[in-house]
Homo-oligomer: A and B are copies of this chain.
Amino acid sequence: MADPTPGDAGRYSYDGLDRVLHEKARLGILTALVARRDGIAFTELARLCSLTDGNLSRHLDVLAKAEPPLVDIHKGFDRRRPLTTCRITPSGRRRFREYLTQLEQVLRDAAVEEDAGTEKGKARPGLAGA
């Protein structure tokens, strides 16, 4: 067995990666909302994220019920027709930014590990396809 280095237990656990955001649909929703502080109409958001109305509702529900809420859903009217508007909250914006910082860490780790793997591969070519 390889020698265990006591200090690096949990090194790849990525605890900082937010479970609520680490779903590609929700990542897309927040990326779309982050640019539009005045909100996006539900139907436009569904189109931008290629989600059905039902799926978008389900994901917005998770984001709106987070504590504190990451999105704010406003049901209003536009010339007597119902209009639902979705908006990111200040907390949503902050958690999104923290999540991006964590993703950057994942990319840095991966780059370092890939370099290490390539070095090892070069040193022991016979093992690469074993």
Contacts and interface: CB of A to CB of B under 8 A. Distances in A.
Interface string A4-18: 100011111111010
A83 interface: yes
A124 B38 contact: yes
Interface residues of A, number: 60
A67 interface: no
B103 A41 contact: no
Contacts of A114: 34-35, 97
Contact of A27 (B1, B29, B106, B121): B106
Nearest to A23: B22
Contacts of A113: 31-32, 34-35
A31 B106 contact: yes
Nearest first, the 9 closest Cβ-Cβ pairs linking A and B are: A12-B28, A13-B50, A35-B113, A10-B50, A35-B116, A17-B24, A12-B32, A14-B24, A35-B117
